[in-house]
């Protein structure tokens, strides 16, 4: 892992991930395969390295470097299905959500009852700014709660739709690049992290991810623009 981080650190020095550097990353991972947890760590490291080095002058280069570096970490062989459970109170659930948001290369599909945790909101906005396509589905009643961040997210240019029926859109799940899923009882609120007994499940099991993608697409067609 340290060797991969070193390769990433070297590659960012010139604001460009060359073909040779990309090849070195792929060859190293082929020789020493990393699991899903290690990949998530490396994707977070990519974001961390870019954040430390980004300036107004090299911003476009950094966005491309993030995409190229994440692409270089892709493993050609079929990934092993993994699932893990996390629990609150505490920061564990929130940290897993933020890590997955940061690891997104292409798109995030977020379908949650409410969003009022500013730390999660900041991660979503940052991901949007670096070019990730983001869609959010939420509940109209909860968007009116004090502390709701839905208006802020919509004003940032993120596509938001909501349920305006008398019933509630009570889902709490997120799809990452169509490959990973977070779901569970955990509400994206400060109180969920500080006080509530909640849970989330993180999985990349293809069949489960596909089912949730189908549900998201159906809801996106049904819901109204914020």
DSSP bridge pairs for 104: none
Task: Retrieve residue 96's tokens.
Answer: 């897993």
What's the whole-number mean pLDDT along residues 146-175? 95
pLDDT, tens digit, 9 for 90 and up, residues 121-152 = 999 999 999 999 999 999 998 888 888 999 99
Half-sphere exposure at residue 95, Cβ-oriented, CA atoms within 13 angstroms = 11
Catalytic center residues? 170, 172, 177
Strands in 172-176's sheet, in edge-to-edge order, are 83-88, 198-203, 180-183, 172-176, 107-112, 133-139, 159-163, 224-225
Q: Where are the alpha helices (DSSP H) in the chain?
A: 2-12, 19-31, 36-53, 59-72, 92-103, 118-129, 150-155, 190-194, 206-222
pLDDT, tens digit, 9 for 90 and up, residues 70-89 = 887 765 444 567 899 999 99
Task: Return the higher-pLDDT residue of 69 and 24.
Answer: 69
Q: Distance between CA atoms of 49 and 8, rounded to whole angstroms?
A: 8
Q: Distance between CA atoms of 119 and 101, rounded to whole angstroms?
A: 11
Q: Distance between CA atoms of 216 and 222, rounded to whole angstroms?
A: 10
DSSP state, 188?
A: B
């Amino acid at each position: 892992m340290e060797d991969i981080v070193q390769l990433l650190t070297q590659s960012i020095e010139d604001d460009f991930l060359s073909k040779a550097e990309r090849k070195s990353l792929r060859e190293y991972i082929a020789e020493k395969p990393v699991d899903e947890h290690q990949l998530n760590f490396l994707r977070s490291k990519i974001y961390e390295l870019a954040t430390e080095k980004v300036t107004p002058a090299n911003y476009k280069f950094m966005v491309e470097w993030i995409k190229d570096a994440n692409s270089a970490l892709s493993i050609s062989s079929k990934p092993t299905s993994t699932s893990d459970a996390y629990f609150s109170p505490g920061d564990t659930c929130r940290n897993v959500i933020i890590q997955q948001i940061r690891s997104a290369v292409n798109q995030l599909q977020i379908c949650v009852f409410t969003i009022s945790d500013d730390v999660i909101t900041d991660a979503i906005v940052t991901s949007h700014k670096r070019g990730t396509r983001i869609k959010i589905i939420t509940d109209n009643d909860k968007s009116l709660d004090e502390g709701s961040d839905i208006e802020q997210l919509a004003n940032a240019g993120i596509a938001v739709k909501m349920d305006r029926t008398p019933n509630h859109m009570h889902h709490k799940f997120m799809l990452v690049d169509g490959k990973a899923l977070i779901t569970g009882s955990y509400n994206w609120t400060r109180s969920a992290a500080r006080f509530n007994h909640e849970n989330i499940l993180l999985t990349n099991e293809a069949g489960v991810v596909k089912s949730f993608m189908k549900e998201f697409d159906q809801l996106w067609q049904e819901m109204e623009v914020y």
